[in-house]
Structure 1
Amino acid sequence: MKAFKTDMEHYGAGGALVKRENASPVTGGTIVYFGVEDCAVEESRVEAAGGQVIKPKMSIGEFGFVCVCMDTEGNLFGLSSMI
Protein backbone atom coordinates (compact mmCIF):
# COMPACT_ATOMS: atom_id res chain seq x y z
CA MET A 1 0.00 0.00 0.00
CA LYS A 2 1.20 3.50 -0.80
CA ALA A 3 -0.60 6.38 0.90
CA PHE A 4 -0.70 9.98 -0.28
CA LYS A 5 -1.32 12.33 2.63
CA THR A 6 -3.95 15.02 2.37
CA ASP A 7 -2.67 18.50 3.20
CA MET A 8 -5.58 20.93 3.35
CA GLU A 9 -3.13 23.88 3.23
CA HIS A 10 -1.92 22.95 -0.28
CA TYR A 11 -3.45 21.98 -3.61
CA GLY A 12 -3.76 18.24 -4.28
CA ALA A 13 -5.65 15.13 -3.35
CA GLY A 14 -4.90 12.45 -0.82
CA GLY A 15 -5.52 8.75 -1.28
CA ALA A 16 -3.83 5.38 -1.53
CA LEU A 17 -2.74 2.72 -3.99
CA VAL A 18 -3.55 -0.76 -2.76
CA LYS A 19 -2.58 -4.15 -4.20
CA ARG A 20 -5.47 -6.63 -4.06
CA GLU A 21 -5.34 -10.38 -4.59
CA ASN A 22 -7.23 -11.65 -7.63
CA ALA A 23 -7.56 -8.13 -9.07
CA SER A 24 -6.80 -7.74 -12.75
CA PRO A 25 -5.70 -4.66 -14.72
CA VAL A 26 -8.34 -2.37 -16.16
CA THR A 27 -7.77 -0.29 -19.27
CA GLY A 28 -11.31 0.97 -19.84
CA GLY A 29 -12.06 2.59 -16.49
CA THR A 30 -10.83 5.49 -14.44
CA ILE A 31 -7.29 6.76 -14.98
CA VAL A 32 -5.51 8.24 -11.98
CA TYR A 33 -3.26 11.19 -12.86
CA PHE A 34 -0.21 11.97 -10.74
CA GLY A 35 0.95 15.58 -10.55
CA VAL A 36 4.62 15.94 -11.53
CA GLU A 37 6.99 18.82 -12.27
CA ASP A 38 7.28 17.94 -16.00
CA CYS A 39 5.42 15.08 -17.73
CA ALA A 40 8.21 14.63 -20.30
CA VAL A 41 10.84 13.96 -17.62
CA GLU A 42 8.79 11.30 -15.84
CA GLU A 43 7.47 9.86 -19.11
CA SER A 44 11.08 9.27 -20.21
CA ARG A 45 11.53 6.89 -17.25
CA VAL A 46 8.51 4.64 -17.99
CA GLU A 47 9.90 2.27 -20.62
CA ALA A 48 13.18 1.74 -18.73
CA ALA A 49 11.07 0.63 -15.75
CA GLY A 50 9.21 -1.92 -17.91
CA GLY A 51 6.11 0.17 -18.65
CA GLN A 52 4.76 1.61 -21.89
CA VAL A 53 3.93 5.15 -22.98
CA ILE A 54 0.42 5.04 -24.47
CA LYS A 55 -0.10 8.76 -25.23
CA PRO A 56 3.02 10.97 -25.10
CA LYS A 57 2.97 14.39 -23.46
CA MET A 58 0.21 16.53 -24.96
CA SER A 59 -1.19 19.95 -24.24
CA ILE A 60 -4.54 20.35 -22.52
CA GLY A 61 -4.54 24.09 -23.03
CA GLU A 62 -4.59 26.36 -20.00
CA PHE A 63 -4.57 23.28 -17.74
CA GLY A 64 -1.04 22.25 -18.74
CA PHE A 65 0.05 18.89 -20.12
CA VAL A 66 -0.72 15.21 -19.62
CA CYS A 67 0.52 11.84 -20.81
CA VAL A 68 -0.93 8.35 -20.38
CA CYS A 69 1.20 5.31 -19.57
CA MET A 70 0.77 1.63 -18.72
CA ASP A 71 2.59 -0.03 -15.83
CA THR A 72 4.18 -3.49 -15.89
CA GLU A 73 0.90 -5.11 -14.80
CA GLY A 74 -1.20 -3.47 -17.53
CA ASN A 75 -2.77 -0.67 -15.48
CA LEU A 76 -3.17 2.73 -17.11
CA PHE A 77 -2.04 5.85 -15.25
CA GLY A 78 -1.56 9.47 -16.20
CA LEU A 79 0.97 12.18 -15.47
CA SER A 80 -0.01 15.85 -15.29
CA SER A 81 2.14 18.99 -15.21
CA MET A 82 1.93 22.69 -15.93
CA ILE A 83 5.15 22.75 -18.01
Structure 2
Amino acid sequence: MKLVNDFLARFQNLTPPDDAVRRAVASAVFFVAKVPVKKEDVSISNSVAFIRCSSVAKSAIQVARGAILNELFQEMPKARNTVRDIR
Protein backbone atom coordinates (compact mmCIF):
# COMPACT_ATOMS: atom_id res chain seq x y z
CA MET A 1 0.00 0.00 0.00
CA LYS A 2 1.39 3.39 -1.00
CA LEU A 3 1.31 6.40 1.25
CA VAL A 4 -0.19 9.72 0.23
CA ASN A 5 3.27 11.33 0.52
CA ASP A 6 4.46 9.14 -2.36
CA PHE A 7 1.79 10.58 -4.63
CA LEU A 8 2.40 14.17 -3.53
CA ALA A 9 6.21 14.01 -3.68
CA ARG A 10 6.35 15.46 -7.18
CA PHE A 11 4.56 18.62 -6.02
CA GLN A 12 7.00 19.46 -3.20
CA ASN A 13 9.40 21.39 -5.45
CA LEU A 14 6.80 23.74 -6.91
CA THR A 15 7.45 27.43 -6.31
CA PRO A 16 4.66 29.92 -5.65
CA PRO A 17 3.46 32.01 -8.62
CA ASP A 18 5.20 35.34 -9.26
CA ASP A 19 2.07 37.31 -8.45
CA ALA A 20 1.89 35.89 -4.93
CA VAL A 21 5.60 36.50 -4.34
CA ARG A 22 5.38 40.09 -5.62
CA ARG A 23 2.41 40.73 -3.31
CA ALA A 24 4.30 39.23 -0.36
CA VAL A 25 7.41 41.35 -1.11
CA ALA A 26 5.29 44.52 -1.28
CA SER A 27 3.57 43.75 2.02
CA ALA A 28 6.86 42.87 3.75
CA VAL A 29 8.45 46.13 2.56
CA PHE A 30 5.50 48.12 3.89
CA PHE A 31 5.41 46.20 7.19
CA VAL A 32 9.14 46.60 7.95
CA ALA A 33 10.30 49.79 6.20
CA LYS A 34 6.93 51.63 6.13
CA VAL A 35 7.43 52.34 2.41
CA PRO A 36 4.19 51.95 0.41
CA VAL A 37 4.91 49.72 -2.60
CA LYS A 38 2.37 48.30 -5.05
CA LYS A 39 2.82 44.80 -6.38
CA GLU A 40 3.07 46.29 -9.89
CA ASP A 41 6.25 48.09 -8.77
CA VAL A 42 7.95 44.78 -7.88
CA SER A 43 9.61 42.65 -10.54
CA ILE A 44 11.53 39.42 -9.98
CA SER A 45 14.45 38.43 -12.18
CA ASN A 46 17.22 35.91 -11.47
CA SER A 47 16.20 35.53 -7.80
CA VAL A 48 16.37 39.30 -7.21
CA ALA A 49 13.31 41.41 -6.40
CA PHE A 50 13.64 44.80 -8.08
CA ILE A 51 11.49 47.59 -6.64
CA ARG A 52 10.69 50.72 -8.64
CA CYS A 53 10.47 53.68 -6.24
CA SER A 54 12.26 56.88 -5.30
CA SER A 55 15.90 56.88 -4.23
CA VAL A 56 14.96 57.86 -0.67
CA ALA A 57 12.61 54.88 -0.44
CA LYS A 58 15.25 52.58 -1.96
CA SER A 59 17.79 53.61 0.66
CA ALA A 60 15.26 52.90 3.43
CA ILE A 61 14.62 49.48 1.87
CA GLN A 62 18.37 48.75 1.65
CA VAL A 63 18.85 49.62 5.34
CA ALA A 64 16.05 47.24 6.36
CA ARG A 65 16.83 44.57 3.73
CA GLY A 66 17.62 41.79 6.21
CA ALA A 67 14.47 42.36 8.24
CA ILE A 68 12.39 42.54 5.05
CA LEU A 69 13.74 39.21 3.83
CA ASN A 70 13.12 37.61 7.25
CA GLU A 71 9.53 38.88 7.24
CA LEU A 72 9.05 37.64 3.67
CA PHE A 73 10.36 34.16 4.51
CA GLN A 74 8.14 33.95 7.60
CA GLU A 75 5.09 34.94 5.56
CA MET A 76 5.93 32.68 2.61
CA PRO A 77 8.60 30.02 3.29
CA LYS A 78 8.66 28.85 -0.35
CA ALA A 79 9.78 32.35 -1.39
CA ARG A 80 13.27 31.35 -0.22
CA ASN A 81 13.66 29.54 -3.56
CA THR A 82 12.41 32.54 -5.56
CA VAL A 83 13.86 35.68 -3.90
CA ARG A 84 17.40 35.93 -2.56
CA ASP A 85 17.97 39.70 -2.65
CA ILE A 86 16.05 42.99 -2.84
CA ARG A 87 17.24 45.95 -4.87
TM-score of the alignment, normalized to the shorter chain, above 0.5: no
For the pair shown, which has the larger CA radius of gyration, 1 or 2? 2
Structure with greater contact order relative to length (CA < 8 Å, sep ≥ 6): 2
What TM-score comes out, normalization by structure 1 length? 0.25
Which one has the bigger helix percentage? 2
TM-score with structure 2 setting the length: 0.24
| Higher strand residue share | 1
